[in-house]
Amino acid sequence: MKITFLGSGGGRFSSISQRRMTGGFRIDNLGGKNYHIDPGPGALVRTYQFGFDPRNLSGIFVSHAHTDHYNDAEILIEAMTKGMTKNNGTILGSVSVLDGYKKWGPCISKYHQSKSRTVILEPGETNEFDSIKVKGTKTQHGDPVGSGFQIDYNGFKISYTSDTGYFDGLAKDHEGADILIASVLRPGEKSIPGHMCSRNFIDLIEEVKPKVAVMTHLGLKMISNNPVVEAKKISKKTGVKTIAAFDGLSFNINYNNPRKFRLISLKDVESSMHSTSHSLFNSGRRNSYQTSFRNKEFDELSIVKRN
Ligand SMILES: [Zn+2]
Ligand SMILES: [Zn+2]
C-alpha cells in the first residue's frame, strides 16, 4: 500500500496562490484498489504530473464542502467511470458534498453521482465497501456536517481528521489509528477557530498514539515557518514519527511494520505529456494520448469532413 500527497497546501490562500499544491492524496493498492481523497484544485493535473492514472480509481472521498477539498471531484469521477459511460467505483462524501446542507454544497452534481455507488459519510457511522470499512469522524469546522474518517483494512487503520479545530473527543474518534493524517494549518500555538495548530496536533498525537503521524493542509503561516522543523519538534515532543507532507511525498506502508518506511520524493514525470516530446512517442508510456486512442476515447478528437 502506498500513500502519495498530490498537494500539501490547504486553506484559501495556500490554494489561490498555489504556494503548495492542493490535489489531496491518493491511497494506492489498499486491498488492490486505489482511492483519491479530497481532490482540491489541480488534483487531475497533479495525478498525471506524479505519474498516476485517474482511470484506475475505485473511489473518491470528499470530506466536506470547501473548494480546497472538492474542486476536482467531478472530473475525477469522469475518469473513474470512463467518461460517465461505465458504472464504477464509490463516491464517499459528507451530506453537504452529496446532497447539500443549508448553504453548503452539493459539490457533486446528480449527473456525476449517477454511475457510482454513493455513500454518505456521517460522523460515528461505519460503511463497508470493497474490502474496507470507513468510519466517519466528527469535525468542528465551517461546514457543520463535514466529516473526517478512519479507513480500516483488515485491522490496519488510516485516520484522516480533515479540517477541524481541536476539541475533547477528537482523539476518541481516531483511536487505534496506525497512520494519523491531519490538517494542521498553523504552526506553534496559533490556532484559529475550525483549524488545528502544531500544539493541537501534539495533544492529538499524544492521545491517539499512532505509529506514524503526517501533517498536511499547511497554511501560508506554516509554510513560511518551515514545516519540517515544526514536524521534528512534534516528533521529539511526542515520540511519534511525524512528517510534514510536501508536494509529491510518497511512502510505501508495510502493514506489519508501519513505522519502517522510506520517504520518496516523486519527480514531475509527466510535464511533457501534452507537448511534442518525441521520447514520449518512442516509449509509448502510460497516461499518454496512446492510452486514450487504445481505449477509443476520441470524443475531443473527431474530425468532421467538410464537403
Ligand atoms: Zn481545507
Ligand atoms: Zn475546510
What separation in Å is there between the alpha carbon of 164 and the centre of ligand 2? 8
Q: Per the structure block, which three cell numbers stand in for 224?
A: 513560511
Q: Are residues 265 and 229 in the same domain?
A: yes
Predicted pLDDT of residue 273: 44
What separation in Å is there between the alpha carbon of 183 and the centre of ligand 2? 9
Instruction: Tell how far CA 298 is from the center of its chain.
Output: 29
Q: Are residues 125 and 212 in the same domain?
A: yes
Domain count along the chain: 2
Q: Are residues 154 and 286 in the same domain?
A: no
What separation in Å is there between the alpha carbon of 66 and the centre of ligand 1? 6
Predicted pLDDT of residue 269: 58
Q: Are residues 40 and 170 in the same domain?
A: yes
Q: Are residues 82 and 180 in the same domain?
A: yes
Q: Are residues 266 and 282 in the same domain?
A: no
Percentage with pLDDT > 90 across the chain: 77
Residue 109 has pLDDT above 80, yes or no: yes
Is 0.95 surpassed by the pTM of this model?
no
Which ligand has its closest atom nearest to the C-alpha of 164?
Answer: 2
Q: Taking residues 190-205, what's their average pLDDT?
A: 94
What separation in Å is there between the alpha carbon of 86 and the centre of ligand 1? 31
Which ligand has its closest atom nearest to the C-alpha of 139?
Answer: 2
Q: Is the peptide bond before 144 cis (omega within 30 degrees of 0)?
A: no
Q: Are residues 219 and 283 in the same domain?
A: no
Structural domain boundaries enclosing 248 = 2-271
What separation in Å is there between the alpha carbon of 10 and the centre of ligand 1? 5
Using an 8 Å Cβ cutoff, are 1 and 29 in contact? yes
Return the H-helix or E-strand segment holding 248: none
Q: Are residues 296 and 242 in the same domain?
A: no
What separation in Å is there between the alpha carbon of 41 and the centre of ligand 1? 11
What separation in Å is there between the alpha carbon of 69 and the centre of ligand 1? 6
Which ligand has its closest atom nearest to the C-alpha of 65?
Answer: 2
Q: Are residues 182 and 89 in the same domain?
A: yes
What separation in Å is there between the alpha carbon of 284 and the centre of ligand 2? 40
Which ligand has its closest atom nearest to the C-alpha of 11?
Answer: 1
Which ligand has its closest atom nearest to the C-alpha of 219?
Answer: 1
Confidence of residue 253 (pLDDT cuts 50, 70, 90): confident
Kindly tell me the sign of the dihedral angle through the C-alpha atoms of 188, 193, 195, 196: positive
Confidence of residue 295 (pLDDT cuts 50, 70, 90): low
* pLDDT per position as a tens digit, 236-250: 999 999 999 999 999
Predicted pLDDT of residue 257: 80
* pLDDT per position as a tens digit, 133-188: 999 999 999 999 999 999 999 999 999 999 999 999 999 999 999 999 999 999 99
Q: What is the CATH number of the domain that holds 257?
A: 3.60.15.10
Name residues whose C-beta falls within 8 Å of residue 306's C-beta, 6 or more positions apart in sequence: none
Mean model confidence pLDDT for the chain: 89
More confident residue, 190 or 168: 168
What separation in Å is there between the alpha carbon of 223 and the centre of ligand 1? 15
Q: Per the structure block, which three cell numbers stand in for 252?
A: 510505501
What separation in Å is there between the alpha carbon of 289 and the centre of ligand 1? 33
Q: Are residues 238 and 306 in the same domain?
A: no
Predicted pLDDT of residue 302: 46
What separation in Å is there between the alpha carbon of 238 and the centre of ligand 1? 25
Confidence of residue 304 (pLDDT cuts 50, 70, 90): low
Predicted pLDDT of residue 262: 75
Residue 298 has pLDDT above 70, yes or no: no
Name residues whose C-beta falls within 8 Å of residue 92's C-beta, 6 or more positions apart in sequence: 59, 60, 61, 62, 118, 119, 121, 127, 134, 149
Q: Per the structure block, which three cell numbers stand in for 112?
A: 456525476
Predicted pLDDT of residue 290: 58
What separation in Å is there between the alpha carbon of 67 and the centre of ligand 1? 8
What separation in Å is there between the alpha carbon of 22 and the centre of ligand 2? 12
Which ligand has its closest atom nearest to the C-alpha of 64?
Answer: 2
Q: Are residues 238 and 295 in the same domain?
A: no
- Strand-by-strand arrangement of the 117-120 sheet: 117-120, 90-93, 59-62, 33-37, 22-30, 2-7, 249-252, 263-265
Confidence of residue 254 (pLDDT cuts 50, 70, 90): confident
What separation in Å is there between the alpha carbon of 295 and the centre of ligand 2? 37
The answer to which of 96-105, 204-213, 226-235, 285-294 has the lowest mean pLDDT is 285-294
Q: Report how far residue 75's alpha carbon sits from residue 179's, in angstroms, rounded to the nearest whole number.
A: 28
DSSP conformation letters of 137-171: E---SSSTT--EEEEEETTEEEEE--S----TTHH
Q: Report how far residue 41's alpha carbon sits from residue 69's, in angstroms, rounded to the nearest whole number.
A: 8
* pLDDT per position as a tens digit, 256-293: 787 777 777 776 655 444 434 444 444 444 555 556 66
Using an 8 Å Cβ cutoff, are 123 and 137 in contact? yes
Predicted pLDDT of residue 297: 63
What separation in Å is there between the alpha carbon of 230 and the centre of ligand 1? 20
Q: Report how far residue 149's alpha carbon sits from residue 268's, in angstroms, rounded to the nearest whole number.
A: 29
What separation in Å is there between the alpha carbon of 143 and the centre of ligand 2? 7
Residue 209 has pLDDT above 80, yes or no: yes
- φ, ψ dihedrals at 120, nearest 5°: -85, 130
Q: Are residues 257 and 288 in the same domain?
A: no
Which ligand has its closest atom nearest to the C-alpha of 14?
Answer: 1
Q: What is the per-residue burial (b if ≥16 Cβ within 10 Å, else e) of 204-228?
A: bbeebebbbbbbbbbbbbbbebebe
Predicted pLDDT of residue 97: 98
